[in-house]
Amino acid sequence: MGKYCDKYKRGTIDMLILKLLSEEDLYGYEMATILNSISNHEITLNAGNMYPALYRLEDKGFITKRREKAGKRIELIYYHITETGLNELQTMHEDFETFVSIVKDIFDYKKELKVKYTS
């Protein structure tokens, strides 16, 4: 991916996490693994960008967490999207699609078509 992709990723990380959680409850490592796999390792989650996003989403009431034992000593923290989070995800997705469409229109703009856009 190009040099600007990290900037784009930072702007969409909350939406991507909510999307993953809209499918199933996940713990941090699972989220990172799934996102990395789906994106062919082009978009990576790591502790430095994932946990601040999870804390932010939890503070906003978009997700909750629960602790679950995995063996005698290991405790996993599973994250769950709330109804508020589902609604926010829908809004984020709609806004993102609108933004992408606008950017595409700008890149499709040709000077000879100027009349079309100023009429």
Break the chain into its structural domains and give their ranges: 5-118
For residue range 68-87, list pLDDT tens digits in order.
998 888 999 999 999 999 99
Look at 44-48, 68-72, 79-83, 102-106 and tell me which has the smallest mean pLDDT.
Answer: 44-48
pLDDT of residue 118: 60
Question: Which tens digit of pLDDT belongs to each residue from 11-34?
Answer: 899 999 999 999 999 999 999 999
In this prediction, residue 3 carries a pLDDT of 76
Length of the chain: 119
From residue 58, give the alpha-carbon distance in Å to each of 18, 23, 72, 76, 107: 11, 17, 27, 16, 36
**To the nearest 10°, the Cα dihedral for 80, 97, 47, 42?**
130
User: Can you give the pLDDT at residue 65?
Assistant: 97
pLDDT at 6 > cutoff 80: no
The CA dihedral of 107, 110, 113, 114, to the nearest 10 degrees, is: 80
Determine whether 63 is exposed, middle or buried from the number of CB atoms within 10 Å of its CB (0-12, 13-18, 19+).
buried
Q: What's the pTM value of the predicted model, to 2 decimals?
A: 0.85
CATH domain 5-118 topology: Arc Repressor Mutant, subunit A (1.10.10)
Residue 87: which of 69, 65, 61 has the closest Cα? Answer: 61
